[in-house]
């Protein structure tokens, strides 16, 4: 939905991710090139849009995304290429993480409509300024990287999720995963589905956190 290029959304139901806990993980990937190649060619814009954490593979603008693309995304893409995943609707027998890698807005809204049969989900988008993201306000958090972005997104009706530089704190609610909570039980990050819940911040994490 971002640029018309071929993408695929893959749901996996086993994870060792201690922060999320036991959730269906969804991976949004270019269909025509592996995720590592897509990062290097810039074709990952089809699945991440203009998210600044993609970087530009330069010293001045390094990649700061917390996802290590050469690990799970690459393995999952290869398994999909070899026919390892059956086609089907979004599984919802467990809490769902929309976009373990990739922006959920890249996937047609209709593909997510089974989501409401899940008892809990989480998801984030950097595309919150775009009209295409409007239907997702009910299910996703707006990913923000500054106080100005937070204010603007909140004015536009989003709940926000902000990644802070290591050692700094935000003004919204600190993500309780810092104290051991898991998304699979917390579920705060589900957009206006939780209209009275606060916005959230978290300290940068992952191998590239020092560059955030
Ligand atoms: S606030 Fe809850 S759902 Fe959101 S990232 Fe933190 S633990 Fe996960």
> Mind listing the pLDDT tens digit for each residue in 18-62?
999 999 999 999 999 999 999 999 999 999 999 988 988 788 888
pLDDT of residue 206: 67
177 CA: nearest ligand 1 atom: 7
Report residue 61: phi and psi, to 5°.
-130, 75
The stretch 131-154 carries a mean pLDDT of 96
The stretch 196-209 carries a mean pLDDT of 83
pLDDT surpasses 70 at 115 = yes
173 CA: nearest ligand 1 atom: 1
122 CA: nearest ligand 1 atom: 3
Determine the distance separating the centroid of ligand 1 and the alpha carbon of 159, expressed in angstroms: 13
Largest CA distance in the chain: 46
pLDDT band at 182 (very low <50, low <70, confident <90, very high): very high
Angle at alpha carbon of residue 66, lines to 64 and 71, rounded to 5°: 120
d(CA 198, CA 159): 7
d(CA 188, CA 87): 30
Name the pTM for this structure. Answer: 0.94
The stretch 112-138 carries a mean pLDDT of 95
Helices (H), the chain: 35-41, 45-48, 72-81, 147-155, 183-186
pLDDT surpasses 90 at 205 = no
**Average pLDDT score over the chain:** 93
Determine the distance separating the centroid of ligand 1 and the alpha carbon of 81, expressed in angstroms: 32
pLDDT digits (tens, 9 = 90+) for 143-179: 999 999 999 999 999 999 999 988 899 999 999 998 9
- Contact yes or no for 212/64 (Cβ under 8 A): yes
pLDDT of residue 49: 96
The stretch 118-122 carries a mean pLDDT of 95
The sheet carrying 160-164 orders its strands as 7-12, 24-30, 96-101, 121-125, 141-144, 160-164, 200-203, 173-174
Collapsing DSSP states into helix, strand and coil, what is residue 197?
coil
pLDDT surpasses 80 at 207 = no
Percentage of the residues of the chain whose pLDDT score is greater than 70? 97
Determine the distance separating the centroid of ligand 1 and the alpha carbon of 4, expressed in angstroms: 31
pLDDT surpasses 80 at 125 = yes
d(CA 165, CA 210): 8
pLDDT digits (tens, 9 = 90+) for 45-104: 999 999 988 988 788 888 888 899 999 999 999 999 999 999 999 999 999 999 999 999
Determine the distance separating the centroid of ligand 1 and the alpha carbon of 101, expressed in angstroms: 16
């Amino acid at each position: 939905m971002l640029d018309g290029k071929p993408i695929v959304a893959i749901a996996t139901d086993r994870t060792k991710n201690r922060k999320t806990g036991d959730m269906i993980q969804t991976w949004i990937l270019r269909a025509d090139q592996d995720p590592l190649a897509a990062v290097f060619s810039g074709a990952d814009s089809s699945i991440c849009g203009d998210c600044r954490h993609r970087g530009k593979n330069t010293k001045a603008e390094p990649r700061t995304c917390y996802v290590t693309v050469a690990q799970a995304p690459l393995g999952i893409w290869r398994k999909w290429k070899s026919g390892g995943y059956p086609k089907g609707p979004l599984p919802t027998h467990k809490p769902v993480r929309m976009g373990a890698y990739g922006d959920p807005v890249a996937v047609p809204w209709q593909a997510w409509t089974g989501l409401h049969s899940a008892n809990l989900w989480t998801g984030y988008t950097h595309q919150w300024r775009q009209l295409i993201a409007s239907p997702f306000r009910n299910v996703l958090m707006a990913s923000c990287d500054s106080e100005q972005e937070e204010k603007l997104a909140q004015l536009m009706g989003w709940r926000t999720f902000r990644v802070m530089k290591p050692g700094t704190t935000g003004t919204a609610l600190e993500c309780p995963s810092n104290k051991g909570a898991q998304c699979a039980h917390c579920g705060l990050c589900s957009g206006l589905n939780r209209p009275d819940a606060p916005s959230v911040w978290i300290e940068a994490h992952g191998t590239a956190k020092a560059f955030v």
